[in-house]
Homo-oligomer: A and B are copies of this chain.
């Protein structure tokens, strides 16, 4: 399975989000509280945007996050206004750098917690549905990466929610064609460096957990004595598979079949409908 987090807002040192909370995502790599598998030690990855470069930096490795010194070093010395972090528990595919999240294509990043059921049987057809011009960019063997390239194929750059919906629709249609009743299980985060879109959906409507942080404004009202809240801009948000830290009222569950946009383009949340495309 996996755990992931997104941060968007006031530039902070990555370690303030990755290591400092108790519990943190790094703690969750050793022992998470929720989730199908409580240890997420089959690799990890972070991706971060900097102010003046359009494409994000990606740092991924195959060992567990909890004992990786280079990850700690980078986190202690790199500041970013928008970053992804992911810790992996493999659902069967090889433990290798190219199977760690986040995946990147141009200025886009993508990470996923979940699974495409029966991916072994669907992989070939799903790969064939990827735009031929993009096919050779696929570097690994995960369902997650193929989902990303399908979303890119279906117009992620122009209409992220629509593209992800079309991708989900294809996965479900193909799955049903192969007799798989509940093909898709996903919480996904994707970003182009300006906005972040997060999705929570599963065919069975029993999705992996996903939480977004309460507004900084409401948190300051709840916790007037917590100093570090004052340094954060009003639009600062985190989205996490599993709550970090111990601040009451900090986390809110994303509903089933919904997606969020940070910073919002209108509403923060909206309903997510799988698109039944005739592919």
Residues of A within 8 A of B (CB): 30-31, 38-39, 41-42, 48, 50, 53, 57-64, 67, 69-70, 73-74, 76-78, 90, 94-98, 120-121, 123-124, 127-128, 132, 135-136, 138-139, 141
A263 smallest CB distance to B (angstroms): 23
A90 CB contacts on chain B under 8 angstroms = 67
User: 22 interchain pairs (CB within 8 A)?
Assistant: A30-B39, A31-B38, A31-B39, A39-B41, A41-B67, A48-B77, A53-B76, A57-B74, A57-B76, A58-B73, A61-B70, A63-B64, A63-B95, A64-B64, A78-B78, A94-B139, A96-B97, A96-B98, A98-B141, A120-B136, A121-B136, A123-B135
A62 CB contacts on chain B under 8 angstroms = 63
CA–CA, A41 and B62, complex, Å: 12
Task: Indicate if the CB atoms of B136 and A123 lie closer than 8 Å.
Answer: yes
CA–CA, A54 and B69, complex, Å: 18
A50 CB contacts on chain B under 8 angstroms = 77
A77 CB contacts on chain B under 8 angstroms = 48, 50, 53, 57
Task: Indicate if the CB atoms of B63 and A63 lie closer than 8 Å.
Answer: yes
CA–CA, A95 and B123, complex, Å: 23
A38 CB contacts on chain B under 8 angstroms = 31
A61 smallest CB distance to B (angstroms): 7
Q: Which of B42, B60, B70, B138 is in CB contact (< 8 Å) with A60?
A: B70
Task: Indicate if the CB atoms of B57 and A69 lie closer than 8 Å.
Answer: no
CA–CA, A96 and B96, complex, Å: 7
Task: Indicate if the CB atoms of B42 and A67 lie closer than 8 Å.
Answer: yes
A36 smallest CB distance to B (angstroms): 13
A31 CB contacts on chain B under 8 angstroms = 38-39
Q: A30-B39, A78-B78 are in contact. List 14 more A-B contacts (CB 8 A).
A: A39-B41, A41-B67, A42-B67, A48-B77, A59-B70, A63-B95, A67-B95, A70-B70, A94-B96, A96-B96, A96-B98, A98-B141, A120-B136, A128-B128
A120 CB contacts on chain B under 8 angstroms = 136
